[in-house]
Amino acid sequence: MITDAAARPRPAASLQVVTITLAVACGLTVANLYYSQPLLELIARDFHVSQGTATLVVTLTQVGYALGLLFVLPLGDLVENRTLVTRVLLGTAVALVIAAVSPDFGVFVAASVLVGLTSVVAQILVPVAAHLAPPEQSGRLVGRVMSGLLLGILLARTVSSLLAGWLGWRAIYVVSAVLMVVLVVLLHRVLPARRPDHTTGYRSLLASVGELVRHEPILRARALCQGTMFGAFTAFWTAIAYELIDEHGLSQTQIALFALIGAGGATAAPIGGWLADRGHGRSGSGVMLVLAAGAVALAGAGHSSVILLALGGVLLDLAVQCHQVMGQQEIYALRPTARARINTVYMTTVFVSGAISSAVAGLLHDAYGWTGVCWFAAALPLVGLVIWAFTLRPSMAPQRAGTQLDPRPAAG
């Protein structure tokens, strides 16, 4: 059996190559969730649906991703990881082709759910990065991989807008399908084989996810806090295209440039990991929650200025990404042999929050415009701040008793 220790590349150069590959793979796969956001106006026109109805594409893609997190991601603690990743990526390629050729809105939405379900590969790879890293460098290595993931999220909007302007909105789905096939080949060659320790079956694996929720209070708190952050992030980026087109008259190319500016927030990931490795993860989380609320409030108050909207987007992206890396550095230390299942709890909470938030953002935009969306998005991190104040303040003693740091796999 190939264990976690055996899977770790020994030469430094090998670890660096694998890290870069993981970052690129995470970015390209998670981008599939966000290609539609700046295209909602074009999709609504093409399928003859309202803007509010078109927003369902974002919501149901997130729902598909949440289902993948809940039912596919735990397999990272059961199935040999390289095989799992390459097979799921082939499913992503098929779903993207269906989306590209969809004849009506119903088929496109169904394909979007499948795209979300299979794009969970990004979250299978993040725990792999944590397994490969030496313990004292886990925060920084995960931060580098998460930088690739966030760049994928942010650049997805730029790339999809540019391709929509040149070749039509369906082109991005064709291009991404080709990239998924390329990733299958690349990851098969570069990713080290890793066979997890869990051997008692899929049902036991899913049951152990529930055990983690019950017995890991830090995991619950971290997941809920990041859920509020991602809810703000999703609300902002779901509605911003409408604001830029309707109120500022921006073209698809100009929206692409706006989204590109937001990619500056990806630089926060290694910084967040560096701070977490030095014991500042909890205090930093509180700061990031406040920063996120302030960033969205700035974008709401300064809606008449594209510059202020962009500044708000950069600060929000920075805060969300930094907070996520700090949270993941802490939760991955809880049970090293159950990292995929820990990530299941964490990221399922995050993306369910994002799906709900995108749906609410669509309704609020129809009823109250950009200002209503921003009030809602700014309130979410403040809810997270309340959770942080009662569970994660640095002055509170870390909860290390019982099952929390138990190195054995949860519930089998």
Torsion of CA 152, 332, 321, 242, to 10 degrees: 60
The CATH number of 4-391 is which of 1.10.3720.10, 1.20.1250.20, 1.10.238.10, 3.30.465.10?
1.20.1250.20
Q: Where are the domains of the chain?
A: 4-391
Structure-model confidence comparison of residues 14 and 404, the more confident one: 14
H-helix segments, 191-251: 202-215, 217-246
Q: Which of 83-92, 112-121, 207-216 has the lowest mean pLDDT?
A: 207-216
User: For the residues 363-392, what does the mean pLDDT come to?
Assistant: 93
The proportion of the chain whose per-residue pLDDT surpasses 70, expressed as a percent, equals 88
pLDDT band at 401 (very low <50, low <70, confident <90, very high): very low
Return the SS3 of 10. coil
| Residue pLDDT, tens place only, 132-145 | 767 666 667 777 78
pLDDT at 231: 95
What is the spatial distance between Cα 379 and Cα 97, in angstroms, rounded to a whole number? 38
Contacts of 68 (CB under 8 A, 6+ apart): 116, 117, 118, 119, 120
Amino acid in position 378: A
Residues 6 or more apart in contact with residue 124 via CB below 8 angstroms? 72, 73, 75, 76, 81, 84, 85, 88, 340
For helices 40-47 and 105-118, angle between their N-to-C axes, nearest 10 degrees: 140
Q: In 253-325, at which residue ranges do the beta strands (DSSP E only) sit?
A: none
Structure tokens at 378: 């700014």
Higher per-residue confidence, 295 vs 150: 295
Rg of the chain over Cα atoms, rounded to whole angstroms, equals: 20
348 contacts 162 by C-beta, under 8 angstroms: no
**Residue 410 has what DSSP assignment?**
T
Across the range 250-277, mean pLDDT stands at 73
Task: Identify the band that residue 265 occupies on the pLDDT scale cut at 50, 70 and 90.
Answer: low
Structure-token pair, residue 200: 């008692």
- Least confident interval from 65-79, 160-174, 393-407: 393-407
Tally the residues of the chain.
Answer: 412
Cα(96)–Cα(177) distance, rounded to whole angstroms?
6
Both tokens assigned to 1: 């059996």
Residues 6+ apart with CB under 8 A from 159: 31, 35, 172, 256
Residue type for 130, please? A
Q: How many Cβ atoms sit within 10 Å of the Cβ of residue 247?
A: 14
For tokens 């019950």, the residue is 214
Lowest mean pLDDT among 104-113, 250-259, 307-316, 385-394: 250-259
Average pLDDT over residues 240-267: 77
**pLDDT 10s digits, 76-104:** 888 888 899 999 999 999 999 999 999 99
pTM exceeds 0.85 for this model? no
Please list, in sequence order, all residues whose beta carbon lies within 8 angstroms of the beta carbon of residue 361, skipping any fewer than 6 positions away. Answer: 55, 234, 235, 238, 239, 373, 376, 377
CA–CA gap between residue 25 and residue 134 (Å, rounded): 21
